[in-house]
A and B are shown apart, each in its own frame.
Chain A
Amino acid sequence: MSNAETPASVHITLDGVEIEAKPGELIIEAAERAGTFIPRFCYHPRMRSVGVCRMCLVEVSGPRGFSLQPSCYLPVAEGMQVVTQSDKVKKAQDGVLEFLLVNHPLDCPVCDKGGECPLQDQTLAYGPGESRFVEEKRHWEKPIEISKLVLLDRERCIQCDRCTRFADEVARDAFIDFAGRGDHTEISTFPDREFTSYFSGNTVQICPVGALTARPYRFKARPWDLEEAESTCTQCSLGCRMAVQFSRGEVTRFVGIDSDVVNTSWLCDLGRFSYEALDSDRRLVEPKVRYRSEMAEVSWRDAIARVGTHIRNFTSGHGAGSIAFLGGAGFTNEGIYSFVKLAKTAIGTSLFDADIDGGVPASVVFATPRATLVEALEAKVLVVASSDVREELPVLFLRLNEAVKKGLRIIEVSELETSISPLATERLPFSAAQLAASLRSGGAEAERLAAAVNASAGDAGEGAVFLVGKSNFADPSAVYGSLASVCSKKWPAAKFLFSNSRANIFGAMDLGAVPGWLPGRVAASVSDDAREIIARAADEPMLLFLLGVDPLADLPDTALVKAALENATVVVIDSFENPATDYADVILPLAAFGESAGTTTNFEGRVTRLGQVTVPKGQAKPDYLIAAEIAREIGAPSGLTAPETIFAEMSGELALYRGVSYADLASDRYPDGLVVPLGRKAISIGSGPRKLDPIATPGLIAPYHQGPAKPFASEEAGSATKVDGGAPSVSVPNLPEFTVDAAAVSAPAEGRLRLLLTRRMYRPTPQLAAAPILSQLTAQAEVRVAPATLEAIGAADGSEVKLTGDHGVEVLVVARADKALPEGVVQGRLGKGANLLQLVRSGSWATHVKVGSN
Chain B
Amino acid sequence: MGAFSPEMRERAENLLTLYPQRRSALIPLCHLAQEQAGHLTSPLMEEIAELTGVTPAEVYGTASFYDMLHTEPVGKFLVGVCTNVACLLQGGGELLEHAEASLGVAAGGTTEDEMFTLEEVECVAHCDKAPAVQVNYRFFGPLTGESFDDLIAKLRAGDYDGVVPPHGTLIRVMRENGIEVPLDEVLAERKEMDRAKAERKAAAEAAKEGN
Q: Which A positions have Cβ atoms within 8 angstroms of B? A: 168, 173-181, 188-193
Contact = CB atoms under 8 A, between A and B. Distances in A.
A713 B59 CA distance: 47
B114 to A, nearest CB: 20
B147 interface: no
A175 B57 contact: yes
Contacts of A179: 60-61, 64-65
Given A174-B55, A193-B56, 8 more contacts: A176-B57, A177-B55, A178-B61, A190-B42, A190-B46, A191-B60, A192-B42, A193-B57
Nearest to B54: A174
Nearest to B49: A190
B57 A188 contact: yes
Interface in B26-73: 42, 45-46, 54-62, 64-66, 71
In terms of DSSP, what is the predominant structure of the interface of chain B? helix
Nearest to B61: A177
B42 A177 contact: no
A180 B57 contact: no
A193 B66 CA distance: 21
Most buried by A among B45, B60, B62: B60
B54 A190 contact: no
A191 B60 CA distance: 8
A177 B42 CA distance: 16
Nearest to A185: B65
A180 B42 contact: no
Contacts, number: 45
Given A190-B45, A191-B42, A192-B42, A175 B55 contact: yes
Most buried by B among A173, A177, A179: A177
30 contacts: A168-B58, A174-B55, A174-B57, A175-B55, A175-B57, A176-B57, A177-B55, A177-B57, A177-B58, A177-B60, A177-B61, A177-B62, A178-B65, A179-B60, A179-B64, A179-B65, A180-B65, A181-B66, A188-B61, A188-B64, A189-B57, A190-B42, A190-B46, A190-B56, A190-B59, A190-B60, A191-B42, A191-B60, A193-B56, A193-B57
Contacts of B45: 190
B91 to A, nearest CB: 28
A173 B58 CA distance: 11
A191 B61 CA distance: 10
Contacts of B61: 177-179, 188
Contacts of B60: 177, 179, 188, 190-191
A190 B55 CA distance: 9
B43 to A, nearest CB: 11
Contacts of A193: 56-57
A173 B71 CA distance: 22
Contacts of B65: 178-181
B98 to A, nearest CB: 27
A190 B62 CA distance: 11
A181 B59 CA distance: 14
A168 B64 CA distance: 18
Contacts of B54: 174
Interface of B: 42, 45-46, 54-62, 64-66, 71
Nearest to B46: A190
B64 A180 contact: yes
A191 B45 CA distance: 10
Contacts of A191: 42, 60, 71
A192 B57 CA distance: 11
B77 to A, nearest CB: 24
B93 to A, nearest CB: 22
Nearest to A174: B55
B72 to A, nearest CB: 10
A439 B58 CA distance: 44
Contacts of A180: 64-65
Nearest to A186: B64
A179 B71 CA distance: 11
Nearest to A178: B61
Contacts of A173: 55
A774 B45 CA distance: 30
A180 B66 CA distance: 8
Contacts of A175: 55, 57
B87 to A, nearest CB: 22
A704 to B, nearest CB: 40
Contacts of A174: 54-55, 57-58
Nearest to A176: B57
Contacts of A177: 55, 57-58, 60-62
A185 to B, nearest CB: 9
Nearest to B66: A181
Nearest to B64: A179
Contacts of B46: 190
Contacts of B59: 190
A174 B23 CA distance: 14
A192 B46 CA distance: 12
A387 B58 CA distance: 30
Contacts of B55: 173-175, 177, 190
A530 B40 CA distance: 56
A189 B56 CA distance: 9
A175 B66 CA distance: 20
Contacts of A192: 42
B18 to A, nearest CB: 24
| In the A-B complex, the 6 residue pairs with the closest CB atoms | A177-B61, A190-B56, A179-B64, A174-B55, A190-B57, A177-B57
Most buried by A among B55, B56, B71: B55
A192 B54 CA distance: 18
Contacts of A168: 58
A310 to B, nearest CB: 56
Contacts of A189: 57
Contacts of B42: 190-192
Nearest to B45: A190
Nearest to A164: B61
B30 to A, nearest CB: 14
Contacts of A176: 57
A217 B55 CA distance: 29
A747 B65 CA distance: 56
A587 B153 CA distance: 82
Nearest to B59: A190
Nearest to B42: A191
B31 to A, nearest CB: 18
Contacts of B71: 191
Contacts of A178: 61, 65
A119 B81 CA distance: 41
A181 B62 CA distance: 10
Most buried by A among B55, B57, B65, B66: B57
Nearest to B63: A179
A583 to B, nearest CB: 46
B47 to A, nearest CB: 13
A75 B41 CA distance: 43
A189 B46 CA distance: 13
Nearest to A191: B42
Contacts of A181: 64-66
Nearest to B41: A191
Most buried by B among A174, A188, A189, A190: A190
Nearest to B65: A181
Contacts of B64: 179-181, 188
A174 B57 CA distance: 7
B73 to A, nearest CB: 13
B182 to A, nearest CB: 33
A168 B23 CA distance: 14
A734 B11 CA distance: 62
A178 B57 CA distance: 9
A174 B42 CA distance: 17
A192 B41 CA distance: 12
Most buried by B among A168, A179, A181: A179
A804 to B, nearest CB: 31
A173 B46 CA distance: 15
